[in-house]
Amino acid sequence: MKGNKKSESKIIIVSNRLPVAISKRKDELKIQQSPGGLATCLRAIQEEEKAIFVGWPGYWPANYKEKKSVENDLINNYKSYPVFISPAEIGKYYYGFANRTLWPLFHYFSTYCAYEKSEWIAYKKVNQKFFQKVLDLAGPKDTFWIHDYHLMLLPALIRKSLPQSSIGFFLHIPFPSSEIFRTLPWREEILEGLLGADLLGFHTYEYARHFLNSALLLLGYEHEFGSILIDNRIVKVENFPMGIDSLGMEGLLGESPIQKDIKKLEEKIWTKKRKIILSVDRLDYTKGIPQRLKGVELFLEKNPEWHNRFTYIMLCVPSRTKVRHYSLLKEEVDSLVGRINGRFGRPGWIPIHYMYRSLPFHKLLPLYTLADVALVTPLRDGMNLVAKEYVTSKKDNKGVLVLSETAGAASELGEALLVNVNNKEDIASALTQALDMSEEEQARRMELMRKRLFEYDVVHWARSFIERIKDTKKIQSHREHRKLDAKWEKKLISDFKRSKNRLLFLDYDGTLVSFGAKPEQARPDIGLVRLLFSLGRDPRNTLVIVSGRDRTTIERWLGRVPCGLVAEHGAWIKRDAHHDWEKQKNLSGDWKEQLQPILKTYEFRVPGSLVEEKEYGIAWHYRKANPELGQLRSSELFDYLNEFLANTDLQVMHGNKVIEVRVSGINKGNGVAPWLSEKKWDFILAMGDDWTDEDLFKILPAKAYSVKVSYGQSQARFYLESPQSTRNLLRRLTRIRK
């Protein structure tokens, strides 16, 4: 079986829970559907032919024989490969780290968080256990799709042992703001674990942005349009709002047993002539149940005319009952329901009909269909599928959804009545508005939401996620082709060897030396000076250092190297040691006076940043600033300056952690023109790391070797990772014998 599985290409879906769960009643094992939103999603992708599932079956077998029988049943009948986790491990990993630390933290309940080292260790151990299982099943062409906060270390574990594999990870809960996330003691390990994936998916753009900010702030990883480069591998971070199985649900609604149930319930309601308000949740403190009840209480206080004219059916599924905050919540909800029913109930009418149990989906459907109002009021929710299920059930477009603005679903269901759950007045008045809403208004809102849900259903969601993992792999392999690898390096060296007139353009910062915290800290070390001497000394080489720095600094550092110099991005050039500096154009730096106060304000507002004045340019560097603040303020300054300097002959550039203003028409391409125009060259190499080097790459002949020393879009033919790789290449060139 194992051999077979390894030879086909398949999708391995890994989640804490399998789509089905096992339980034992009266010595008999039973297999049922797992509860909750993630399980709903897994069932929807279960139909995917090539998918297999890996996860916890919710059961610890009594003995080896039972274990084997459970395993065979799950594999053969449900394509599910169980990872058996002992009760002690479940206590620490699932009820512990996952649900007493990560769950409250990611839902902004930081005061509920426990930070227990032993639970963190158990979490690592169980992630390792999943990894071993996955490794047993994995073939070379398989795609892994890992789900949710229980398994955040798994992507990196797989990446380490199968570096070429395709890995996607989807988080079903919110990713909190970096200010919250950074309070986690093991924050770096969690981020590194996730970044083992090729694709990281979140329900909303906000969560993706929070993740990118945390990676920047805590690990220093920058991103470009949602892509992060790690060890020469691209990680894509994107939002994929999860849908539900709308078509499947509509099909179920048409089945006759469900229609019968709907009819029965309808008659019951009709005789009482009461409207139905419905809520359906796991009993979880993130779902805002007490807040909702207080809103309903206020509605009852303010609207006596509605007494005896509605029933609120509140359906709660027991959840994580072994975690203390959940049992406290149960007590609070019980007492609130008792209080409200006691206060407002009368013979023949109780306002809240509270059911503390799970219902099979087909029993839920009639309730959805007949409810006039759905009250979905989580304090935080990754998405919230109940809201989407309610809307989908409304074939006749009748019904009103009241939805919390802090549920992920709110970003797609803007036609709902959106409420701030902490404001009970808001809930009470939304209820009034919902119960009084005309049928035309209901239909107008419902129709728009339904259309969206049918277009972006769970099948669309799952397919687009899997497609995107493949796309990311394609981007990576395209990148691989551009790498100046051993094969291309051999060709470059052999062309270099054969040539007699070689032209070498080298940028300085980020290409020959790594960036220092301050500009003056990047002075050349002795190794670099020797390397440049040895290149410049060879009569067949014409070496030119092409920099954005001011001419005084560049001359002080490299003035004795036998090479040409270009300073201030081409404003100044020095052909060789025997020539003086030449100004490229009739330049003036008078305009700097006007800009200096603006840039100084940013120096003041962003601690760690600084202003550098050049003869014909002025720059604001933010390398040492807090990365998040630096990125934010730099875009703001860039936009501002562009507007401010429109219709002048000044140009604003956003370089590597620097915003610089200089006279238009001055660029590295023009700066090197005096050399390039000589036309005698039989070998040209240009290396640079920044987009200011693009002007140089752009004007080179097609055969020239242009190399970008970092990740990012570029006109260069090749790329290398770091200044260290630049130096290694140049060192090899100096070793070539005549």
Active site residues: 507
Q: How far is the CB of 608 from ligand ADQ (least distance, A)?
A: 38
Q: How far is the CB of 281 from ligand ADQ (least distance, A)?
A: 6
CA-based nearest residue to 82, from 4, 29, 156: 29
User: Which residue in this structure is represented by tokens 């390096």?
Assistant: 489
Contact call for residues 693 and 668 (beta carbons, < 8 A): yes
Interacting residue with ligand ADQ among 70, 218, 262, 383 (CB under 6 A): 383
* 381 part of the interface to ligand ADQ, by CB under 6 A: yes
Which residue, 38 or 379, has its beta carbon nearer to ligand ADQ? 38
Interhelix angle 187-194/205-219, rounded to 10 degrees, is 120
Give the rounded distance of the alpha carbon of 228 from its chain centre.
10
Using CA atoms, how far apart are residues 719 and 482, in angstroms rounded to an integer? 6
Which residue, 108 or 644, has its beta carbon nearer to ligand ADQ? 108
Q: Which of residues 340-369 bind ligand ADQ (CB under 6 A)?
A: 358-359, 364
Task: Kindly state the helix (H) or strand (E) to which residue 241 belongs, with its residue range.
Answer: none
* 172 part of the interface to ligand ADQ, by CB under 6 A: yes
* 40 part of the interface to ligand ADQ, by CB under 6 A: yes
Contact call for residues 128 and 170 (beta carbons, < 8 A): no
- Which range in 21-29, 151-159, 383-391, 507-515 contacts ligand ADQ by CB under 6 A? 383-391
- Which range in 32-40, 56-64, 652-660, 703-711 contacts ligand ADQ by CB under 6 A? 32-40
Tell me the helices (H) and strands (E) count for the chain, helix number first.
28, 29
* 15 part of the interface to ligand ADQ, by CB under 6 A: no
Identify the three-state secondary structure at position 142.
coil
* 641 part of the interface to ligand ADQ, by CB under 6 A: no
Tokens of 464: 């687009």
Contact call for residues 423 and 440 (beta carbons, < 8 A): no
- Which range in 31-39, 130-138, 229-237, 721-729 contacts ligand ADQ by CB under 6 A? 31-39
Using CA atoms, how far apart are residues 458 and 389, in angstroms rounded to an integer? 12
Give the rounded distance of the alpha carbon of 230 from its chain centre.
14
Which residue, 382 or 519, has its beta carbon nearer to ligand ADQ? 382
Q: How far is the CB of 282 from ligand ADQ (least distance, A)?
A: 5
CA-based nearest residue to 150, from 124, 180, 175: 124
Tokens of 322: 């072994």
Using CA atoms, how far apart are residues 459 and 41, in angstroms rounded to an integer? 9
Interacting residue with ligand ADQ among 44, 52, 173, 707 (CB under 6 A): 173
- Which range in 377-385, 427-435, 539-547, 720-728 contacts ligand ADQ by CB under 6 A? 377-385
* 280 part of the interface to ligand ADQ, by CB under 6 A: yes
Contact call for residues 582 and 601 (beta carbons, < 8 A): no
Interhelix angle 154-161/187-194, rounded to 10 degrees, is 50
Using CA atoms, how far apart are residues 383 and 244, in angstroms rounded to an integer? 11
Contact flags string 234-263 toward ligand ADQ, x per CB under 6 A:
--------x---------------------
Contact call for residues 723 and 737 (beta carbons, < 8 A): no
* 507 part of the interface to ligand ADQ, by CB under 6 A: no
How far is residue 469 from each of residues 51, 462, 698, measured CA to CA in Å? 15, 11, 32
* 54 phi and psi angles, rounded to 5 deg: -125, 130
Q: How many residues bind ligand ADQ (CB under 6 A)?
A: 23
Contact call for residues 275 and 373 (beta carbons, < 8 A): yes
Q: How far is the CB of 358 from ligand ADQ (least distance, A)?
A: 4
Which residue, 199 or 720, has its beta carbon nearer to ligand ADQ? 199
Strand extents, DSSP E, 617-730: 617-621, 650-655, 658-663, 683-688, 705-708, 718-719
* 208 part of the interface to ligand ADQ, by CB under 6 A: no
Contact call for residues 380 and 108 (beta carbons, < 8 A): yes
Interacting residue with ligand ADQ among 127, 291, 384, 406 (CB under 6 A): 384
Q: Which residue is nearest to ligand ADQ (CB)?
A: 37
* 283 part of the interface to ligand ADQ, by CB under 6 A: no
Q: How far is the CB of 381 from ligand ADQ (least distance, A)?
A: 4
* 292 part of the interface to ligand ADQ, by CB under 6 A: no
Q: How far is the CB of 80 from ligand ADQ (least distance, A)?
A: 19
Contact flags string 306-345 toward ligand ADQ, x per CB under 6 A:
---------x-x----------------------------
* 281 part of the interface to ligand ADQ, by CB under 6 A: yes
Which residue, 363 or 490, has its beta carbon nearer to ligand ADQ? 363
Q: Backbone dihedral region of 548: left (phi > 0), alpha (psi from -120 to 50 degrees) or beta?
A: alpha
Which residue, 468 or 482, has its beta carbon nearer to ligand ADQ? 468
* 89 part of the interface to ligand ADQ, by CB under 6 A: no
CB-neighbour burial class of residue 481 (10 A; exposed 0-12, middle 13-18, buried 19+): exposed
Which residue, 403 or 434, has its beta carbon nearer to ligand ADQ? 403
Q: How far is the CB of 426 from ligand ADQ (least distance, A)?
A: 21
* 689 part of the interface to ligand ADQ, by CB under 6 A: no
Tokens of 456: 């972006």
CA-based nearest residue to 431, from 376, 359, 493: 376
Using CA atoms, how far apart are residues 654 and 645, in angstroms rounded to an integer? 14
Which residue, 403 or 546, has its beta carbon nearer to ligand ADQ? 403
Q: How far is the CB of 265 from ligand ADQ (least distance, A)?
A: 16
Which residue, 122 or 242, has its beta carbon nearer to ligand ADQ? 242
* 282 part of the interface to ligand ADQ, by CB under 6 A: yes
* 733 part of the interface to ligand ADQ, by CB under 6 A: no
Tokens of 270: 């009709």
Which residue, 2 or 357, has its beta carbon nearer to ligand ADQ? 357
Identify the three-state secondary structure at position 222.
coil
Interacting residue with ligand ADQ among 5, 29, 33, 36 (CB under 6 A): 36
* 633 part of the interface to ligand ADQ, by CB under 6 A: no
Contact call for residues 618 and 595 (beta carbons, < 8 A): yes
Residues that bind ligand ADQ (CB under 6 A): 36-38, 40-41, 172-173, 242, 280-282, 315, 317, 358-359, 364, 381-386, 389
